[in-house]
Structure 1
Amino acid sequence: MSTVTSPKRIRNSLIAIVAIVLSAAIFLGFQTQANSNSLEAQAQKSTPIDVALTNGKPTLTEFYADWCTSCQAMADDLAEIKSKYGDQVNFAMLNVDNSKWLPEILRYRVDGIPHFVYFNNKGEEIAQSLGEQPPSIIEANLDALIAETSLPYASSNGQISTFNPGVNAATSDPRTHSSQQK
């Protein structure tokens, strides 16, 4: 009876070991693929915003968050676009969950993500677009940005009012300005 049990135990142990090795290989394979185009990996490779706006190349800045499903859905397409246009265009990524970028979030009126801001080669904002977009739309905008022509799929901005960050939110709510008597 011990001779019958022993081969079954060996076979079962081998099956378990093979299953564990295959599971680990599949898991690591998916992790490597996902991480290469992850938002965090792309942000680490992106051009710092202060460099991007002063190095003489046009810039596409993306405001994003790691939890944003639209941002995640666009990550692979944007990684491909960045590899295609990376020699001609700066790509800057600013995480809206990082309070370091609050001045930029306010300046460019980011109220939804992904939020894209296009800058010409002089670092001047020329257009913005909001939300998940197909790669063809982004590429058409980048082609126009490089050619220094109007962007076909982004809303252009004119002059904007200067935002005064000195307003105390506890005493003044901008959403109620019309109901307050001064």
Structure 2
Amino acid sequence: MDSQPSQPAAKTRNLIIAIAAIILAAALFFGIKLDSQGNSLGALAKTATSYEVAIASDKPTMIEFYADWCASCQAMAKDNLALEREYGDRVNFVMLNVDNNKWLPELEQYNVDGIPEFVFLDGAKNTQGTAIGTVPKQIMAENLEALIAGNDLPHAQLVDGNASQFNAPKPADNTAPRDHG
């Protein structure tokens, strides 16, 4: 007895395997692509409130100073996007890229010395606290809840050490943004 399948059966089997492989490859490709786009710093920055709009509003604001090359910033992107989705109707979420010289005045104003650095502002735009480095989602949520309620932040000066070193660049003419010489 011959154990080889007939020619038409072999072609049908090969066709089914090829179709299954194409479907699995497409699912894997689109699954990875959607996840990387949906939880990236770029996705978070696109959904963020602009700094100008946030400062003009009476809602509390959380400013994140970040850089695309910052591993801690990238690691927190998924959690921060989830927090923005949960609290975005009550808190402005602002993303300021430290590599953009446009934000030099804000880097100086908020004394940014590590990234990610989070600055929590009440509705009147007074600084209520900061957090530097990788901050667990639960800690961020507790700070946001307190900010919304107008209470003191439970983790107001949190620094965890997992931050990228950052030194704000000085303008080419060596003047600071507030120098009026």
TM-score surpassing 0.5? yes
The residue that corresponds to 1:38 in the other structure is 40
Q: 2: distance between equivalents of 1:9 and 1:131?
A: 57
Residue segments in structure 1 that go unaligned for 5+ positions in a row? 157-164, 171-182
The residue that corresponds to 1:103 in the other structure is 105
How far is the alpha carbon of 1:113 from its aligned partner? 0.9
Secondary structure at 2:90 match in 1: coil
Stretch of structure 1 that moved more, 15-24 or 35-44: 15-24
The residue that corresponds to 1:53 in the other structure is 55
How far is the alpha carbon of 1:107 from its aligned partner? 2.1
Q: 2: distance between equivalents of 1:87 and 1:21?
A: 39
Secondary structure at 1:29 match in 2: helix
The residue that corresponds to 1:129 in the other structure is 131
How far is the alpha carbon of 1:97 from its aligned partner? 1.9
Cα offsets for 1:58-100 (capped at 9, x unmatched) = 0000011222111111111111111111111110011112222
2:149 pairs with one of 137, 147, 150: 147
Residue segments in structure 2 that go unaligned for 5+ positions in a row? 1-5, 159-169, 176-181
Secondary structure at 1:92 match in 2: strand
Normalising to structure 1: TM-score of the pair?
Answer: 0.75
User: How many residues get paired?
Assistant: 160
2:79 pairs with one of 77, 83, 93: 77
The residue that corresponds to 1:24 in the other structure is 26
Counterpart of 1:63 in structure 2: which amino acid?
F
